[in-house]
Amino acid sequence: MSIPIPELSRTPITFSEGPQAFFPVEYEPATGEVVMLEQRKLPSEVTYHRYDKPDQVADAIRDMVVRGAPAIGIAAAYALVMVARTEEGDAASFLVANGAAGRVLNATRPTAVNLAWAIARMGRKAAEVAKLDPRERYEAMRAEAEAIHREDVLACHAMGELGARDVPDGATILTHCNAGALATGGYGTALGVIRAAHAAGKKIRVLADETRPYLQGARLTSWELHVDGIPVEVISDNMAGHFFQRGEIDFVVVGSDRIAANGDVANKIGTYSVAVLAKEHGVPFTVAAPWSTVDLTMSDGSGIPIEERPRDEVARVGGTTLVADGIGVRHPAFDVTPGRLVHAVYTERGVFHPAKGEGPSALQSKG
């Protein structure tokens, strides 16, 4: 299989350690464009878009060309680099332009706190460098966005190593949605744990929930793992209970969009059901996420905003109508798993165990 990779003026941070190199999002300094893998067409088509305006990046985040909590934060950071490149006015007009673009980007998807986190970090850098000349402040903003990207890849590797220690040799691992290289700067969070266990020589295999309605598991997770040569089978979401009951699942690992101070975890809709099943069957339910996913301003998960997505993402699949027009559909895109069901959360700062009453705050000073 030969996959076209767009020419970039510098070496892309690749997301795969396998034979192919892909990346979900990159900034192209030579042209000032954001280059983005079109995830809605995967796996049948591998195409990249080039965007030259921050609003196009905002649309791409909302429409899920790029998706996954860390990846949308990185995309937003690069959109703010575009603003710095074109805004040649004084410090005040630069900060106004940065703030306005940040608000548009922030409004695209509400649940993943990594988006707001990346925009806030770019905002702090903008304030710091606003008085520099336009070229220097652009370079500083670009360096900050690239640091956000690079640090996310390193975080994925660190949490992957930590989580892989808990994966039994010979395990069948269930995962939900796509918390892989496609959803991050590269390597993946939940799939980082899986990649690290595989790299350590553990004989693992993966069951990927298809993840209705957007099918991130069927389309993206299975493809990523297959490309890397990690054994994977796709199951429809309603099969998980059957495989738990038969003792065929040994370990669960998922990603997260926001983790509250008490260890409650927001993630893709359907994650909570998986956690309940894991508890019933005595299987460890674990989460891998970078520190940028932790939101200590939320005391528990009840305050986490849950994104509602369009009706047609449930009512139609691949152009086929499943639910007749005029019939109501509900589409919350995320749910919240109570910390008491979460055996472990792996981060680049260390691990904590919400089911034992541990929250993330003990790791706060390790940054």
Task: Give Cα 355 distance to the centre of its chain.
Answer: 23
What is the footprint of ligand MRU within residues 277-296 (CB under 6 A)? Answer: none
State which H helix or E strand residue 25 sits in. Answer: strand 25-28
Stretch that binds ligand MRU, among 54-62, 80-88, 89-97, 181-189 (CB under 6 A): 181-189
Among 56, 98, 216, 262, binds ligand MRU (CB under 6 A): 216
Residue 24 interacting with ligand MRU (CB under 6 A): no
Question: Cα–Cα distance between 276 and 271 in angstroms, integer?
Answer: 9
Among 57, 333, 342, 363, binds ligand MRU (CB under 6 A): 333
Task: Choose the catalytic residue: 209, 228, 257, 264.
Answer: 257
Using Cβ positions, the residue closest to ligand MRU within the complex turns out to be: 255
For residue 86, which of 34, 149, 147 has the smallest C-alpha distance? 34
What is the footprint of ligand MRU within residues 45-84 (CB under 6 A)? Answer: 67-70
**Nearest distance from C-beta of residue 69 to ligand MRU, angstroms:** 4
Q: Is 228 a catalytic residue?
A: no
Question: Cα–Cα distance between 54 and 107 in angstroms, integer?
Answer: 13
**Nearest distance from C-beta of residue 100 to ligand MRU, angstroms:** 24
Residue 189 interacting with ligand MRU (CB under 6 A): yes
- For residues 36 and 24, is the Cβ–Cβ distance under 8 A? yes
Residue 184 interacting with ligand MRU (CB under 6 A): yes
Residue 195 interacting with ligand MRU (CB under 6 A): no
State which H helix or E strand residue 212 sits in. Answer: none
Within a 10 A sphere around the Cβ of 144, how many other Cβ atoms? 22
Number of residues located near ligand MRU, criterion CB under 6 A: 17
Determine how β-strand 258-259 pairs with β-strand 251-254: unpaired
Residue 26 interacting with ligand MRU (CB under 6 A): no
Order the strands of the 258-259 sheet from edge to edge: 258-259, 265-268, 334-337
**Can you name the residues that pair with 233 across neighbouring β-strands?**
207
- For residues 97 and 161, is the Cβ–Cβ distance under 8 A? no
Distance separating the N- and C-terminal Cα atoms of the chain: 41
Question: Which of 172, 337 has the CB closer to ligand MRU?
Answer: 337
**Nearest distance from C-beta of residue 175 to ligand MRU, angstroms:** 9
User: Which residues in this chain contact ligand MRU in the complex, by CB under 6 A?
Assistant: 67-70, 112, 177, 179, 183-184, 189, 216, 255-257, 267-268, 333
- The residues assigned a catalytic role are 257
